Amino acid sequence: MVWYTNKIIIIPTVVVTVLVILAIVLPTSILLPKKSDTQTLTINQIHFVQTHVLPPQGLNWTTPNGGNVSYHLTGQRQTMILIKFDQDVVGEEIKLQIWVPTVPGSVGNETEFELATVLPLEQPDMLPPTESNGTIYANNTFSVQVLPQYIVPGMKVVAGGHGFDSTDPVFPVVGMNSVMRLPLLPFYLFGANDSSIPYNVTTMPPESKIKAIYQTWPVSVLDVYNHPAGIVKWKTVSLGAGDGGQAYLVKGTNQIRSGFVLMGAVLGFLSGFQGANGDGGQTNNLIYAPLIGLNTNGFYTGPGGGLGGGSRGTGDYSYTGIFIHEMGHAWGLPHSGEAYTAGTFPYAQGSLNGSVWGFDFDHQEFLSTCIPTSSGSYKNCNSSHVVANGCCIRQDPMQGGSGDQSKGYPYTLFPDFDMGRQQMYMEGTTTLKADGNHSYSGGRIIYVKDTDSYIRWDSIDNKYVPYIVTNGSKGMDMYSDLPVVRDVDVYTIFIHWNNAPTSVCKECTQVYDPLKYKGNLLFRLDPTIPENLKLIKPNTGALPWFCHSSGCDFTFRVTYTDGFTLTKLLQRGVRSWFSPTGQPNAEYADPMDGNSLMLFSENVPADRVLSKVELLWTPFGAKGLNDGN
C-alpha cells in the first residue's frame, strides 16, 4: 500500500493520450518521468495504552491452577498508541491512519473498512513523562493519542508519510465498550446526621476522585451518582447470631460485638436495594455505602475498615484506599497475596513484579511498577515490598498496596492481571456449541433505555447481542430477576424477621423506615388469585419451580391510606433446596444460627400514601392464604 495524503489527485488524461499518439507516430523512444523513490517504513514495536501499556494482541495468562485470564483494549476508551520504527525517522512527519470496519464485529476483512481519521505522530521527545520524574518509559518512540470513538473491534492502524511506503496494518484486539454504573448510598445510623458528617461529603466524592476511579478501572464509561434513595437514616439495626451470641439489636457502634458484623449487615441491605430494584445479579451495577455511625454517647466512630464482594462495598466516607480496595472485591478481585499462594494470581506476594506499566490520562504520566520516589511508601520500602531490578515493586491495592502511589494520586496502580479479571467480569466468556450457537457464561447484562431491552457482549463476534428475558429455571427466576416497571415512585421496605421462637431478642423483628424515591418494580404474584396458584403448583404448574429455592413460606402485604392493598407471595422459605413441601430446616429456628434472622426487601408503588406493612407467615404459600397460615 502506498501512503497518500487527503489531497485530490487529478490524472491528466488528455496529456497521456497525446503522448500515446506521439509514441505511435514517431519511431523514437519516449521515457515517461520516473516516479520518485519511496523509503520502506516498518514497525519495530507498537503498543496501545489505556490503563496499561498493552501489545496489540493484549495479554494472556494461564495461572498455576489452570485458570485463563486475558486483557485487551476496552472499546471506545481514550487510547495512546506508541510506535518505534526500524528506520531512523526522528524529525520526519509520520502520520497514522486509523481504519474501522463498516460491519460491526468484522475483524481482518480488508473489503469492509473505511478510513476514520489520520493523525500526526508526536516526535519521541514529546513522549509523556513518568510520574515523580521517574525513568522515561521508552526512547525513540513516537506517540499519538486517539479519541474513544475510533477504538472499536476490528480496527486497524497503518503508519506512513510523504516519501514513505506505509507499514503493514496492525490489528489490535479490542473488546466491549462497557458501561459501569456506581450508585453511592451513605448509611447514617444510630442518630448520625448532616452535623455528624456533611451529606455533601458522603453522597459524592470530588470530581478528581471520580476521574481517578475511571483511570483505575477498564471501562468505557463510568457513571457515578448518588443513589436515588439519597441516604439511609435508621436509629437501630438488627444483627444476626454468629459472632458469639444470639441476634441482637444495636443502637450505637459501641454495642457491636465484633468489628465487621455491622458492615456485613450493610452489605445485606445493599443486596436488598439491588434485588428490590432488579439492579443486582448480572447487571452492570456496583454499589458502595459510606458508613456513618454514632456510639451511644452520640460521637462518630469510623468503621475501622471496609467490606466488599458481590458487586457491593462499604467502608469509610473518604473514598480513598479502603474504597478502592473494597470495590475491587465488589468486582470479584481477591486478596492477591492469598491468591498467589493459591495459584490464582501470577505475581509474587501480591506485588506488581511482572506487570506491565500503566498510564494516567488525567496526569498525562506513565506509571512504573516501581514505587515512585514521592510515595509515602518509598522510604525504607525494601523492608516491606518485593525488590527487583533495583527498586521496590508496588503492591497490588488488593494486597496492602494502598499508599504506593505518587503524591497527588488518590489510588495506586493495579496490576494488569486485575484489569483482565475486571474486563472478564464485564465481557464474560462466549463459547461455541456443537450446533453452532453461542453459549454465554458470566458478563454483564446492559439495559438499553431507548428500546426498553437488554444486551450482552459476544466475545466471539465482538459485538453486543440481545439478551432475552425469561422466567428462568421454570419460574425460580421470574423475568430474569429484572424489573417489569422502571423509573416510577417506589417505597423500598426492609424487614428483619427473627424466626427463632426462643430468641432473647424480641426487638430484632422490625420494619425499617421505608425509603421513597424513583426506582423499579419486579414481578409480583398475588396469592389471593386462584389462577396464580395454579401456575406455581410445585412440579406440575406452568411455573413448577417457583417455590423450589427454599419454599414460599412468607407473604408480603402493604396497605395504603385509601384502603388499597397489594399482596405478594415471596419466593423465600425455611426449607431445603428443591423441597418446597418438605420439613423446615432447624437452622432457621435456632437462635444461635445466623440464618434465623431473615432480611426481606421489597419495592412497592409509591403513588399512594403507605399506612401499613405486613410480613405474613404463610407456610406452603403455593396453596394460597387461609386461616391456617
Alpha-carbon span 242 to 473, nearest angstrom: 32
Instruction: Report residue 187 as a C-alpha cell.
Output: 448509611
Between the alpha carbon of residue 279 and those of residues 97, 309, 427, 480, 546, the distances in Å are 41, 15, 17, 11, 21
Q: Of 93, 110, 326, 365, which residue is the catalytic one?
A: 326
Alpha-carbon span 590 to 97, nearest angstrom: 69
Alpha-carbon span 299 to 180, nearest angstrom: 36
Residues 6+ apart with CB under 8 A from 155: 98, 99, 100, 101, 116, 171, 172, 174
What is the 3-class SS of 261-304, one letter each residue?
A: HHHHHHHHHHHHHHHHHCCCCCECECEEEEEEEECCCCCEECCC
Alpha-carbon span 231 to 391, nearest angstrom: 45
- In the block, cell 506499566 appears at 357
- In the block, cell 387461609 appears at 626
For residue 17, the Cα-to-chain-centroid distance in whole angstroms is 64
Alpha-carbon span 529 to 624, nearest angstrom: 8
Give me the phi and psi of 78, to 5 degrees please. -50, 135
Closest by CA to 404, choosing from 353, 364, 341, is: 353
- Integer-rounded Cα Rg, in Å, for the chain is 30
Closest by CA to 407, choosing from 137, 216, 134, 127, is: 134
Alpha-carbon span 559 to 610, nearest angstrom: 6
> Are 505 and 248 a contacting pair, CB within 8 Å?
yes
Instruction: Report residue 53 as a C-alpha cell.
Output: 501499556
- In the block, cell 450482552 appears at 456
Alpha-carbon span 439 to 436, nearest angstrom: 9
Active-site residue, 326 included: yes
Q: What is the DSSP string of 342-390?
A: HTS--SGGGB-TTPPPEEETTTTEEE-SBPPTTSTT-TTGGGTS-EETT
> Are 102 and 112 a contacting pair, CB within 8 Å?
yes
> Are 585 and 594 a contacting pair, CB within 8 Å?
no
* Four-residue CA torsion sign, 127, 133, 138, 140: positive
> Are 573 and 617 a contacting pair, CB within 8 Å?
no
- Cβ-based burial of 616 (10 A; exposed 0-12, middle 13-18, buried ≥19): middle
> Are 271 and 309 a contacting pair, CB within 8 Å?
no
H or E segment and range at residue 17: helix 13-25
Q: Indicate which residues carry an active-site annotation.
A: 326
